Amino acid sequence: MKSSVITFPGSNCDRDMDVALTKFGFKNKMVWHDDNELPKSDLVVLPGGFSYGDYLRCGSMASKSKIMQSVINFAKSGGLVMGICNGFQILVETGLVPGVLLRNKYLEFICKNVFIKLDNKDNPYFKNLDKDVFEFHIAHNEGNYFCTQDQLKEIEDNNQVAIYYCNNKGQTEDQFNPNGSIKNIAGIFNKEKNVLGMMPHPERMIDQSLSGEDGSLFFKNLINNIK
C-alpha cells in the first residue's frame, strides 16, 4: 500500500508519521509542499506541526499551498486523505471537512493522553476495529472544534462525527473534553467519509515504550482496510 505524507516547511510530525506508516507496512513517500503532483497513493496524510508558522489562522496558508490543489483533487475523486492535528486544521481551511478549530478553551497548549470514542465504523478508517474506546495523545493549542448549529445538525445527520473525547468507559460528559470542542468532537469526516480530520495523534502511540499502543491498532487496521 502506498502512502504520501506532505511536508510543509513547518511540519514537525512528518517524520513521526513516516515512521508509523512504514512500521505498519505502508510504502511511504514524503512529498514537499511546493511540488505540483502527488505520487500515486492509496492514502495521503497531512501531518501535525506549524505548517507556515501559523501566525495567521492555523492551516490557512497551507491550505493554499501548491501541493494542496492535488490533494484536494485526490480527495474529491474519493482518495483517502487524513489530517492529524495541524493537518486537521489545514483540512477545515480547505473546506474538505466542515467547521473550524478555535483556540483551546483555557487558552493553553495541551499535551496529554486522552480517550476517544469512535462514533461509527462505516468508513475505511475504523471499519473492523473491535473496540470503540481508544487512548490517543493530543498536543495542540487550537483544537477547539466549532461549527454552527445548522452545520452540526447536518454533520450529525450524515454521521460525519468521527470521534468524540471521552473517558476510559466511553462517557462523553463535558468534564472529559480537554479543549472546549463543541459536543466533545475530536475528529470529523467529509460526507463521503474518505477524508478524516482529527486532533489526536495515533502516530505517537505505536509502541509500548511510548504513551501507549492504541495507535498500533489503528494503523494495522487501516492498512488491512485499504488492501
Partner 1 sequence: MLVNEKVAIEHGLKADEYKKICELLKRTPNLIELGIFSAMWNEHCSYKSSRLHLKKLPTSGKKVIQGPGENAGVIDIEDGDAIVFKIESHNHPSFIEPYQGAATGVGGIMRDVFTMGARPIANLNSIHFGSPQHKKTKNLLRGVVHGIGGYGNCMGVPTIAGQTSFDSSYNGNILVNAMTLGLVKKNKIFYSKAAGLNKPVIYVGSKTGRDGIHGASMASASFDEKIEEKKPTVQVGDPFTEKLLLEACLELMAGDSIIAIQDMGAAGLTSSSIEMASKGNLGIEINLNKVPCRESKMTPYEIMLSESQERMLIVLENGKEEMAKKIFDKWNLDFAVIGKTTNSKNIELFFDNEQVANIPVNTLVENSPMYDRKWKKAKLPKKNKIKKETYSKLKIKDVLKKILSNPNVCSKEWIWQQYDHTVMGDTIQKPGGNSGVVRVHGTNKAVAASVDSSAVYCWAHPLTGGKQVVAESWRNLISVGATPIAITNCLNFGSPENEENMGEFVECVHGIGEASKYLNFPVVSGNVSFYNQTKEVGIKPTPSIGGVGLIKDYKKMVTMNFKEKDNLVLVIGKTEGHIDQSIFARTILDEKNGPPPEVNLFNEKNNGESLLNLIDKDYIKSAHDVSLGGIIIAISKMSIKGNKGIKLNKSKNLMNEIDYLFAEDQGRYVIEVKKKDLKDVIKILEKNSVHHEELGFITEKDIIINEKTKVTIDELKSYNTNWLNNYMSS
Q: Least separation, in Å, of the C-beta of 157 and partner 1?
A: 36
Q: Is 142 in the site for partner 1 (CB under 8 A)?
A: no
Q: Is 56 in the site for partner 1 (CB under 8 A)?
A: no
- Select the residue interacting with partner 1 from 50, 126, 136, 145 (CB under 8 A): 50
In contact, 45 and 4? CB cutoff 8 Å: yes
Q: Is 90 in the site for partner 1 (CB under 8 A)?
A: no
- Select the residue interacting with partner 1 from 141, 151, 159, 225 (CB under 8 A): 141
Q: Which triple of cell numbers denotes residue 77?
A: 475523486
Q: Least separation, in Å, of the C-beta of 78 and partner 1?
A: 30
Q: Which amino acid is at 99?
A: G
Per-residue b or e along 11-26, where b marks 16 or more CB atoms closer than 10 Å to that residue's CB? bebbebbbebbebbbb
Query: Which residues, at least 6 apart from 209, have a Cβ–Cβ distance to it below 8 Å?
Result: none
- How far apart are the C-alpha atoms of 53 and 50, rounded to whole Å? 5
Catalytic residues: 85, 201, 203
Query: Which residues of the chain form contacts with partner 1 (CB under 8 A)?
Result: 9-10, 12-13, 15-16, 19-20, 34, 48-50, 52-55, 108-112, 137, 139, 141, 201, 203-204, 206, 209-211
